[in-house]
Amino acid sequence: MNGWAIFLSPYHQAVEELKVKFKSLRDQYQRSSKHTPIEFVTGRVKPMTSIQEKAKRKNIALESLHTEMQDIAGLRIVCQFVTDIDTIVDMLRSRNDITVMSERDYIKEKKSSGYRSYHMVIDYPVHTIEGTRHVLAEIQIRTMAMNFWATIEHSLNYKYSGEIPEHVKRRLVRAAEAAYNLDEEMSKIQDEVREAQSIITKRREENKGTYK
């Protein structure tokens, strides 16, 4: 393995382990017939070129990457309702296998672009043949509406190399407000939505039993 592969190996391990753990939480909620605050989970390790570009932009020495670059490992937990975000945050704070290092609430204090999400930086121990390695990982928690907007904004940033035209930025801000309003409206009927989902889940389980 080359130097970068060795360096990134514990980050890959952390992402895969955390994805399994968070998906297991979702499955436990589903089996209990309770509303699951987790809709889906994704994760990635930042590519080497992106790490180098960010290190240069932020003036981070390569030997300090493991302490100063907090998003080499990244996970995203997507949920249905804004209230689910609070549930997930409390859940993560209470875990004894991770240590929350910092939190940023971009929902209450959105970015000027319109971006909304809840960010947590955690310390996670990875067990390797050479002992325990502690790696930093960033967890982004957001609703499906927030995630849709952020995905589009990311694509446009890539297209325009970070220099999105002003008229497109204005449309993005309006779209972000529309997504937020959608979340607000869905939150008002979340009890009805959850009840409907519970009925559907129960009927599926009953049908499974019928065909055994």
Tell how strand 73-79 and strand 131-143 pair up. Answer: parallel
Amino acid at 157: N
* Active-site residue set: 138
CA–CA gap between residue 127 and residue 149 (Å, rounded):
36
For 47, phi then psi, to 5°, come to: -60, 155
State the pLDDT at residue 161.
84
| 113 neighbors 173 (Cβ within 8 angstroms) | yes
The whole model's pTM is what? 0.87
Please report, in tens digits, the pLDDT of each residue of the chain (212 residues total). Answer: 588 999 999 999 999 999 999 999 999 988 887 788 999 999 999 999 999 999 999 999 989 999 999 999 999 999 999 999 999 999 999 999 999 999 999 999 999 999 999 999 999 999 998 899 999 999 999 999 999 999 999 999 888 888 999 999 999 999 999 999 999 998 888 777 777 766 666 666 667 655 55
CA–CA gap between residue 179 and residue 185 (Å, rounded):
10
* C-alpha 94 chain-centroid distance: 18
Both structure tokens of 97: 């296998």
State the pLDDT at residue 46.
96
Which residues face 1 on adjacent strands? Answer: none
Would you tell me which CATH number, out of the four given (3.90.110.10, 3.30.460.10, 3.40.50.1000, 3.30.465.10), belongs to the domain 3-204? 3.30.460.10
* C-alpha 83 chain-centroid distance: 15
CA–CA gap between residue 111 and residue 134 (Å, rounded):
30
**Side-chain half-sphere CA neighbours of 67 within 13 A:** 3
